[in-house]
């Protein structure tokens, strides 16, 4: 694993831990995770393998990321405080977030510390292109971040609309 890989993993973990204490929802707080995954996508996604069982691996990993992110988003408290919308991750949301990050981190560590041969054999036996593993892991992370961020943002916007009675087009989070 490179230093960049460590920084990305730790940033994603820190992101949810920073929300264990309530913080004001803002466009900036929603944009930061999107910026991180945008950079990750442009840095790591160069090809989309589609042969053999590649799509099953990539699709499965993406679905797991979507499920973990959506569940974490639903378990995150989004509530009004005065004229602001506050966000606080619950322990359940943090746990689900750590499951996703932990699985990806464990896989990267396994690959970097002697597991590459085992994954290579598994890939050959199951007709998986080696590059599909990177795509699967990255898309899992992107799906987890996007689904949680979108759900929390949508819930915050809906709460603000209900609280203020504004027309959605006039809402500013």
Q: What is the pLDDT of residue 171?
A: 44
Q: What is the pLDDT of residue 115?
A: 87
In Å, what is the CA distance from 132 to each residue of 60, 84, 87, 129? 12, 43, 35, 5
- Give the residue among 140, 127, 136, 173 at the shortest CA–CA distance from 154: 173
In whole angstroms, what is the distance from residue 140 CA to residue 171 CA? 31
Residue 153, C-beta contacts closer than 8 angstroms, at least 6 positions apart = 25, 30, 173
Q: What is the pLDDT of residue 170?
A: 43
The overall pTM is greater than 0.75: yes
Structure tokens at 154: 């949508």
Q: Are 157 and 168 in contact (CB under 8 A)?
A: yes
Structure tokens at 120: 């290579």
Structure tokens at 27: 């466009």
What is the number of alpha carbons within 13 Å of residue 157 lying toward its C-beta?
Answer: 14
Q: What is the pLDDT of residue 169?
A: 47
In whole angstroms, what is the distance from residue 164 CA to residue 170 CA? 10
Q: What is the pLDDT of residue 84?
A: 87
- Give the residue among 53, 20, 15, 19 at the shortest CA–CA distance from 37: 15
Segment-wise mean pLDDT, segments of 10 residues, the chain, 173 residues = 78 78 88 88 85 91 96 93 89 92 89 89 90 91 94 87 56 47
């Amino acid at each position: 694993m490179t230093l960049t890989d460590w920084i990305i993993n730790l940033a994603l973990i820190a992101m949810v831990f920073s929300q264990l204490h309530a913080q004001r929802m803002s466009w900036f707080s929603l944009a930061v995770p999107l910026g991180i995954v945008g950079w990750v996508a442009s840095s790591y996604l160069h090809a989309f393998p589609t042969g053999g069982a590649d799509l099953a691996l990539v699709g499965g990993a993406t679905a797991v990321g979507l499920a973990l992110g959506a569940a974490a988003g639903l378990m995150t408290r989004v509530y009004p405080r005065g004229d602001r919308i506050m966000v606080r991750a619950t322990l359940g949301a943090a746990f689900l977030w750590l499951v996703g990050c932990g699985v990806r981190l464990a896989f990267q560590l396994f690959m970097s510390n002697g597991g590459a041969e085992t994954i290579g054999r598994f890939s050959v036996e199951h007709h998986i292109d080696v590059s599909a593993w990177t795509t699967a892991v990255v898309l899992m992370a992107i799906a987890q971040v996007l689904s949680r961020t979108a759900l929390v943002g949508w819930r915050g916007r809906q709460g603000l609309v209900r609280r203020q009675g504004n027309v959605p087009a006039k809402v500013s989070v």
